[in-house]
Every structure is written in structure tokens, then in C-alpha cells.
Chain A
Amino acid sequence: MANSVSFAGNIAVSLLDNQQNPLANAVVYLIPKTESFEPVENMAIMDQVDTQFYPHILAVQRNTQVSFPNSDSIQHHVYSFSSAKVFELELYKGLRADPLLFDNLGVVEMGCNVHDWMLGYIYVVDTPYFKKSDYAGEVTISVPDGEYTLKAWHPRISDSPESFQMMLSIQGDTHVSMSVPSALLPDVNAFEDAADEFGEYE
């Protein structure tokens, strides 16, 4: 299948919670059934702005280098004890910290030891086809035709991505809706309401 002619198509996904409300800012990703990927040398940035991680949720393909600049004029002490990536960037300012390689799949939950309220996620997926949903829960991803598994992740989704996924055979433009089976976790930090989240929207 690797040499077969691929037609690109757009798949539009409407992501809904179990209340049929749009679920924004969720990582939606498609894992092709057969395709395997070369390791990529991508770069991503997880900035810290106004003592917040920016973006709040960062989706990256495996083996992506993520740099942690510090836009604040104060020091941060970013760390993660998540199994996907344990790291600690002790008190630093600006670009003093070297980029980190995220080579394990899964969620990396980050905090700042200096600022307890700071919370950020890096979600490492094993596919180039991923995108975060907009505030209307919509996401459009261009993919070659083929067989895919559609998954979604958000810190408020209690179900694991494996427990609600969709097998798709994509031929051209497709539109699917996917609902989260269980209720969302409570929105304790109101990060979703942060206005700047939409600024990232592309």
C-alpha cells in the first residue's frame, strides 16, 4: 500500500461530549491502519506566558523536540512526573532550557514548582494526523484515503482514547461525529475559557 496512489481528502470531525455539546480543545488524531512513519525531527514549543503554560494542551508526534522558552520575566521550574516523560527544568528564564525529546506516547502532565496553578499537557501521538478541536468542537484534518482509527483526547475526558475510537475508511472528504461516552471531568481550572486558546486556532 505504500506505493499506491494516495488521494488527499479532508476529514471533518465534530466532537461532542455525552451531553451532545461541542468539546473544544481536544486532541483529535487519526492512526492509519497500515501506514508506518519515519521518525520525524519536529519541533514544538511549550511556552510560559503570564505564569501559564502556553498552549495549555500541546499535541505532538512522537520524537518531537519540545522547547520550553520562558516568556515571563520570572523564573519557572517546570516538571513532569508523567510516565510518558519525566523531566525537570529547574528555575530558568528565557531560553536557557534545552529542548526535550518526547519519544514516548501518552500524556505528559506538567506543572511548575514555583507556581502551583500552572498546568499544561503535552500529548504525544504516533501519527502525523492530529489536530485540536476548535471551540465548536470541529476539526478538519487532511489525510490520504485509507483505513484509520479515529481517537480523541482531552484532560477532561475520563475515558481512555482506546475505549472510544472509531474505525474509519476515508475516501475523499468525510465528516464524522464522535461523542465521548462518559461525562467529562469537571472543569476545575477553567483553562478552556482562556481567550488566548483561540488565538492558536488555525
Chain B
Amino acid sequence: MSNKSVLIKPSLQMRMSFIFLLLLSIIVVVTIYFVQQATFKHASAQLMNHIQTSAAVVQDNVEGRASALDNGMATLAKDFSMKQLIATAKNDQRSLSSAMSNYQSRLGADIYWVLSKDFTPLIEAHSPFENSKQVVPAFSKAALHWFTYQGRNYLMRSTPVRFVETSGHINAWVVMGIDAKKLFTPHLVDLTDMQISLFGGNASVLLGATPEAHFVAGQKQGEIAKTRGLHRLPLNSTSIIYSAFELGTWQGESAFIVLSMDEDDAFLSNESLIGQLIFILLAAAALGLLGATLLSREITKPLKQLIDAARRMRAGENVDSFPSANTREVETLSSAFSDMQLGIQDREAQIHQLAYFDELTHIPNRIQFSNHISDMIRQAPECELIVLMIDVDRFKEINDTLGHDLGDELLIAIAKRLHSHTQNKGFCARLGGDEYAWVGLQEANTRPQDVAQNLLSVFEQPFKIENLVLDVDCSMGIALYPQHASSLQGLMQCADIAMYSCKDQHNPFALYNDALNKHSVVRLSLMSQLKGALGEGQLELHYQPKLTIASDKIETLECLIRWFHPEHGFVPPDDFIPLAEQTGAIRHVTQWALRTACEQVKRWRDKNICFSVAVNISAIDLVDLSLPASIESLLNEFDLPPSALTMEVTESAVMGDPENALKALNLLRDMGVTLSIDDFGTGYSSMAQLKKMPVDELKIDKAFVLALATNQEDRVMVKTLVSLAQNLGLTTVAEGVEDLETLEFLREVGCTKAQGYYMTKALRADELISWYEMFTEQGLASCSQ
């Protein structure tokens, strides 16, 4: 994602170059624009001047010709012999004609007429003028006159002939014309540096033009602007600049000369100036761009190095040097990067510490231990390892007794000793809680047990914690690689199994063997089978009666679970109940037991046998607050009063989570279910705790009852307990009553109920009914049999 956007976005260098280029372009364009404007204005003014001067030159030239002709004609008109010839023209046209031809060539005229005073041609060969009365006298005026005759155009002049000069009467007219073509000569082009065209009739008629004139007949005549000022007209792929000036008249309207030149020529100097300017500006732009590129490269070079450094940092590399920069900002950024790397390294170290070291003891933790073993195996699969798992015995008791702070100090002290003991040999770690582990290479002449024994020396000396001297024992499980397992998990499991086995055997250490593991596998498989077993009826409830001592009646029973496994036969509850409690399967067991018990009680009640049944519930059941609701629904389902059920809870079950346990107990008590504390006297429950518990009954553990007949201390204990219960308003049940003496003692001290083999062991429901019928008939006598 970020890479994509990085690719799309322009680089700093590009952007800087772009901005430079943009600014330069603006400057260039603006400069060129204004210079162009100024120079164009100037050039235009110059050109206008030039054209005006040229127009004046042309006018002067034409007027000069006209004036020369005038002068010549004036001489002609005063010439006596000409007068004579004119006066006698009627008789001698040829003489007049030849004299006129002479004058014509003398004056450089191209055409002539001699007219009488009423404007009829005196030489008959000449065609008469149209409008001669107006036109001919006009030709004698100073203004220039253009005249078209037989398709040709002439600059016309006329002069009146008076036979007597001072006469008021005109006797004849002499008219002469110069071909307009002759007026616009290359010489005039040289003088003016312009091409000249003469138009009459609102530019519809070309009267004359220089040989290379731009505007000739048929060339966009209609588009010619007939005013002064500069005009532009595209013509034959070039652009023509021209200006028009009045020059005489043609057929009573103004005639115009159009002075023109190629625009290229007109603005040549201007354009070359602009060209030079553009070249200079482009060169400046190129230099500027080069400068911008170099500058931005200077700036971006350290940035690129920083980017590279950041990438290397991301990849986990340690970057030694950051680019030293030439600008303060980049310098700051560079040092910020450096600081950031230090920060990251610090935090990595912290994280590493947190991840791989135990927070309390600062020796390696389970993860590092596991990694260490994995690394050893991976690096040298053929190596031989010994893994020890060490668990501090009775640490929970120490912790509970001395408090957590001292418990923690003990853990730290153990870790220190372990660490210093194994400093040069092997690798030790705290796995969690009171568990430690050690791993080392097997040595040829040393047995694993010797290694364990050696490590046990750590615990030989007592630990001194805040003036307390503590003797600490431990259990060690030993597992070997590759003998016991080839994987880390396998090794840890083997060591764990071995460690637990030695706890059972009360040995300080145990070497793993397959037998231990097999047992474990059976236990685990039992758990997986337990749920199925409940459905398949492999489990049964057996009932053991509780004798009400005062009345010698059986009113209450305790139900006990029995599992008859199709392969393993009878599985004692001690083998699977704790496991079921660990795995959580106990819930299903409890549910099953409650339902089965309720069914049985209902069945009995239908036969008018009113037993109340006690069901054992575990800590997990108690904390699960859905228990009261499910019990209520069961009672409703089987139409039983709450008094038909008693819940037996061990002290330790309540102590695990006293708050929720008390909540559940209160709910059950409120429902009217009888609550009983099982195995009373074996736990650590205080009197204060007992006072708070909403129970009805105490069950005195059989440890105090079994030897009651002979043991005086037990007698005192039981008597005290019963008395205590009475004072608290609780009934008492003694377990493990196996003889009459005991029963009699209990009766003597006022114990409420007795339960034990003396009455009967736990029986199946049908057996119990048989036993009950016998007991009802014979009373206690049946028990002594």
C-alpha cells in the first residue's frame, strides 16, 4: 500500500524541478510577452513612420512627375507655333498631331489629346472624352487625377490653351497622360523599400503597381483596408503588412496607394531581437533547471540515504551511521532517526527481556527454555540431552502460610541458587509458578540420576527468608533426548510425567519410563470416554444410608458414583473425579448424578419411601451459577420438594472462589436445599469462614472417626466438633462409622447422623431397598451381623 503511493507520488526532486521550471516558464513567458509588446509597439511605430515617409516619397515622386508634365504642357500651351497649329487644326491635323507627338516624347507622356474649347478632339483620330467638360478642366487642377482609357490607366494633366495668354477665354485644351505603370518603378521600390499598388474605385480597380507588388489585380482587393495605420493580410502563404494612403482621384473618388511589405521583413529586426531574447531566457531556464536539479539532489540525497537507513532498520539491521546533512531540517531528521533507532533498540531489549526472561526471578522463562532446547536439537540433532523439571514441594502451603511476598522471595532465592549452580553447565529456567527446569548435555560416565542428585544439592541448605529458615524439598522429573522423546514437546511432557510420578512416590526425582506414560495415556483416554460412558450407562449411582442416631431411622442417603468400564473394570472415583474436575467434564458428571438421584428419589417416593439424597458437587459446579437453576428445574420436573436434596460441598471447593461459591450456596439455601460441608476438619477453613457459610450440616471427616473407639484424641476432637456444630446450629454427620462403640460414642456426644460400613457400604438402589426393608424390620441389630 505505502509502496504503491510512494511510486505514484512525485519525488521531492521532481517537484522542486517542476516548481523551478514553472517559475522560470512564467518569467520567460511574461518577459517575452512584455518585450514582444514593447518591441512590437516600437517596431510598429517605426514601420508606420517608414510607411508614412514612403508614402510621402511616392506622393512626391508622382506629384513631381505631374508637375514636370504640367510645366512642359504650360510651355506647350504658350508656344506660338503650337497655338498656330491648334488654331489651324481644322485644316492641318497632321501637323498638329506630329507636333504633339514631339511634345509627348519630350515630356515623357504616354497619351495626349488636343481639344477645342468645347472639348471636341481637334485631331479626329482621337476618340472624344466622356464627361470632358468636367473631367478635362479638372485635370488642370493641382490634385492628381487618374484616368482609365482603353483599359490603361494614366496620370492625367491638362492645360488650357489661350491664343492670347491674358485672354479670359480658353481657346483649346491640351491633355496628356503618363501611364500609371511607369510611375511605380523598381527605383521607387528601392527608394521606399516597399511594394506599391495603386487602386481606384474603392480598390476595385488596380491602376498601377510596382513590378513585384503584393497587391495586384485579383489579389484580395476586396479585403484591403483603405486607411492609414498598419494592416495585416495573409497573402500567398505569407503575411503582408500594408497601409493605404489617398493619392489623387479616379472617376471622382479617392484613389489609394497601398504600400506593403512582407511581415517577415517588416518585423525582421524585432523578431531577431525576440529570438535572441528567447534564446537567452531558454539558456537561463536551462541553467536554472540545472541549478534546481543540483540543489534538490543535494537535499534529496541525504533523504534517500535516510529512506535506505529506515528500510534497513525495518529489516532489523543496526544502522551505524546516518547521513550528515547540509541543511538543518535534514540534520534534525537524521538525528531523529538515530534517536528512533536507539529507542527501538531499547524497546526491543525490553521486549526481549519480557519475552524471554522471567519477570520475577530474571532467569530465562519457559519460552527461552523451549527455544534453547529447540535450537540445540536443530543445531545438533545427534546430541544427547538431559532435561530436568523441578517442582517445589508444598510451595502453595508455604505461600499461603507466609504470604506471597515471602513466597516470591523464596522463588527468587531458588532461581539464584539454580542459576549460580548451573552457570557453566547446562541452562536453567523458571517455567512458571514453582516450576523450574534445567537442560544439559548427557555425559558419558554420568548417570542422569547423578545429575539430578547433583542438582538436588541446591536444596540441601535451608533458605533464609526474612529471618525465617525454610527447608524446601523438590520433585524432579528426568527426561532424555533422544531416548525418551525426539521433540521438545515430547521431552517436556516426559519430564513432567516423571516429575508427577515422583510426587506420588515421594522420591525426590524420577527418571521417565514408558510405564508412567502409559498410565497417563489411560487416564487421558478415560476422560475422553467419560462423556460417552455417562450416556451408555457405564456409570451408576450407589447409595449409602445415613443413620439418624437419635431415632435409629434411615431418612437420608449419600449417593456415590461408580464407573464400571467395559475394559478396565471398576474405575475408582478417586481416579477419574479429580481428572474430570481438571478437564471440566465434572459438570456432565454432576448433572448426570443429580438427574439420576432425582429419578431414584421420585421412584422411591412413588413407593412411599421418603429418602432425602445427598449429592457431591465440585468446586467447578459451585462456581457455575447455573447450578441452582438446573436443580430447580429438576425438582420441578420430578415434582420433588427441595428438602429431598442435600448438596455436599468440600471446604476447599468453597475456598477457591468464596464470593461466587457463597452466592450459589445462598441461592440453594434460599430454595430450601440442604447444604452440607464434606470432609470437615481436613482443610484450612477458619471458624470465621464457617460462620459465614449458609450450611445446615457438617460432615466430620472419617479420619477423625475411624479410630474413635480407641483414640482418645479423636474422641476429644469429635466431641468438640459436634459441640461446635451444635453451638452454630448445625447438624453433624460422622463418616466412617465401622463399629457399634463408635456409634454409641457419637450418640453420647450428640452427633446427629452416622454413616459407615457399620450400617452398610454404598449399595445399588435395589440392594438398598432390600437392606432398608431388613433394617426397618430388625433395627440396628441387623447391622451388627
Interface positions of A (Cβ within 8 A of B): 77, 79-82, 86, 88, 109-111, 113, 116-119, 155-156, 185-186, 188-189
Contact = CB atoms under 8 A, between A and B. Distances in A.
B372 interface: no
A128 B80 CA distance: 35
Nearest to A113: B80
A106 B168 CA distance: 16
Contacts of B165: 111, 116-117, 119
Given A81-B86, A109-B164, A111-B164, 18 more contacts: A79-B80, A79-B163, A80-B163, A81-B83, A82-B163, A86-B87, A86-B88, A88-B84, A109-B167, A110-B164, A116-B165, A116-B166, A117-B165, A118-B164, A119-B166, A188-B166, A188-B168, A189-B166
Given A81-B87, A86-B87, A113-B80, A185 B163 contact: no
B171 interface: yes
Contacts of A88: 84
Nearest to B86: A81
A119 B87 contact: no
Nearest to A88: B84
B738 to A, nearest CB: 184
B169 interface: yes
Contacts of B164: 80, 109-111, 118-119
Nearest to B171: A81
A50 to B, nearest CB: 15
Sorted from nearest, which 10 A-B pairs have the closest CB atoms? A111-B164, A81-B87, A116-B165, A119-B166, A81-B163, A113-B80, A189-B166, A185-B168, A119-B164, A117-B166
Interface residues of B, number: 15
A109 B80 CA distance: 15
A118 B166 contact: yes
B78 interface: yes
A119 to B, nearest CB: 4
A101 B80 CA distance: 23
A68 to B, nearest CB: 15
Nearest to A117: B166
A146 B480 CA distance: 190
B4 to A, nearest CB: 105
7 contacts: A77-B80, A86-B88, A111-B163, A111-B166, A117-B165, A118-B164, A119-B166
Given A109-B164, A111-B163, A116 B78 contact: yes
A66 B153 CA distance: 50
Interface of B is mostly: loop
Q: Which of A81, A117, A156 has the most CB of B within 10 A?
A: A81
Interface in B137-171: 163-169, 171
Nearest to A156: B168
A85 to B, nearest CB: 12
B328 to A, nearest CB: 102
Contacts of B171: 81
A113 B78 CA distance: 9
Contacts of A188: 166, 168
Contact of A119 (B83, B86, B167): B167
Contacts of A111: 163-167
A176 B276 CA distance: 94
Contacts of A110: 164
Contacts of A80: 163-164
Contacts of B168: 155-156, 185-186, 188-189
A117 B83 CA distance: 15
Contacts of B83: 81
A86 B84 CA distance: 10
Contacts of B80: 77, 79, 113
Interface string B675-695: 000000000000000000000
A7 to B, nearest CB: 41
A48 to B, nearest CB: 13
Contacts of A117: 165-166
Interface string B63-105: 0000000000000001010011011100000000000000000
Contacts of B166: 111, 116-119, 188-189
Contact of B169 (A79, A109, A118): A109
A156 B53 CA distance: 47
Contacts of B163: 79-82, 109, 111
A116 B84 CA distance: 15
Contacts of A156: 168
A157 to B, nearest CB: 10
A81 B171 CA distance: 9
Q: Which of B86, B163, B168, B171 has the most CB of A within 10 A?
A: B168
Nearest to B81: A113
A118 B88 CA distance: 22
Interface string B385-405: 000000000000000000000
Nearest to A116: B165
Contacts of B87: 81, 86
A77 B81 CA distance: 12
Contacts of A109: 163-164, 167, 169
A117 B78 CA distance: 11
A113 to B, nearest CB: 4
Nearest to B87: A81
B368 to A, nearest CB: 141
A81 B84 contact: yes
B737 to A, nearest CB: 182
A153 B557 CA distance: 186
Q: Which of A82, A88, A117, A188 has the most CB of B within 10 A?
A: A82
A98 to B, nearest CB: 20
